[in-house]
Amino acid sequence: MRREPVITNDGSHTIREIESGTTFHSHHGAVQESMHVFIEAGLRYWQQLHPEQSLHILEMGMGTGLNLLLTIREAALLKIKIHYTAIEAFPLEPTITNQLNYPEILQDPALTGILNEIHQSPWDTTIALTEWVEFKKLNTTLEDWQPAAAFDIIYYDAFSPTEQPELWTTGIFEKLFKTLQPGGLLLTYCSKTIVRKAMMAAGFTVIKIQGPWGKRDMVRAVKMG
């Protein structure tokens, strides 16, 4: 699998798989997409409903670590404790992660060391990235993953149903539904009808909301209860 960093329209990096041309983020802007889908529609929305509470976040598809970096920055602003678990079956090589320009784009040089620690830290080990965020990454597939905790928010950042249809099935969403606390959220950029139907069949209440720049819709799925 050959991959390379490329610049998106907001100046931030994404990763492109050379053979397929598939990218990890929207070409309209990696940072703006992640901010909209996971931070604004997810973390900030949850915090408005549950102010001053700590929370557990699961990320499916750690990739470049961008969603975690943005969460770290947000946790410091909101002053909330976050326990963050990330699943990544195919981690990026250091030759790629060392090129990522997120600290520069976010104008926060302190994030450089944190980004390095995200990618260089040991697997299956909980570490403190900041005073607000504890982090564990798991080198496994979602199908093989065995949940050991309940989560408040799931960042669902898998490749599209066209690229990875096995990750958008009712069975997968049933597994994720069970890992969420009542009232928990699942956020994803994908709003295809087949995906929303699979989520609803798994028990989620599915809400289409405004998508990021260049995309009309996204999904916020809720475990009512």
pLDDT digits (tens, 9 = 90+) for 49-103: 998 789 999 999 999 999 999 999 999 999 999 999 999 999 999 999 999 999 9
Task: Give this prediction's pTM.
Answer: 0.96
Residue 13 lies in a domain: no
Give residue 213's domain range.
29-222
Establish if 8 belongs to a structural domain: no
Residue 182 lies in a domain: yes
Domain assignment of residue 19, yes or no: no
- What pLDDT does residue 53 have? 83
Q: Tell me how many domains the chain contains.
A: 1
2 domain-assigned: no
pLDDT of residue 195: 97
pLDDT of residue 215: 86
Q: Is residue 83 part of a domain?
A: yes
- pLDDT one-digit tens code per residue, 182-220: 999 999 999 999 999 999 999 999 999 999 988 889 999
The pLDDT value recorded for residue 114 is 97
CATH number, position 165:
3.40.50.150
Quick: pLDDT tens for 147-193.
988 999 999 999 999 999 999 999 999 999 999 999 999 999 999 99
| Helix (H), strand (E), coil (C) string for the chain | CCEEEEECCCCCEEEEECCCCCECCCCCCHHHHHHHHHHHHHHHHHHHHCCCCCEEEEEECCCCCHHHHHHHHHHHHHCCCEEEEEECCCCCCHHHHCCCCHHHHCCCCCHHHHHHHHHHCCCCCCEECCCCEEEEEECCCCCCCCCCCCEEEEEECCCCCCCCHHHCCHHHHHHHHHHEEEEEEEEECCCCHHHHHHHHHHCCEEEEEECCCCCCEEEEEECCC
As a whole number, mean pLDDT of residues 13-17 equals 95
Residue 187 lies in a domain: yes
Please tell me the predicted confidence (pLDDT) of residue 5: 94
Residue 20 has pLDDT above 80, yes or no: yes
Q: Is the pLDDT of residue 21 over 90?
A: no
User: 11 in a domain, yes or no?
Assistant: no
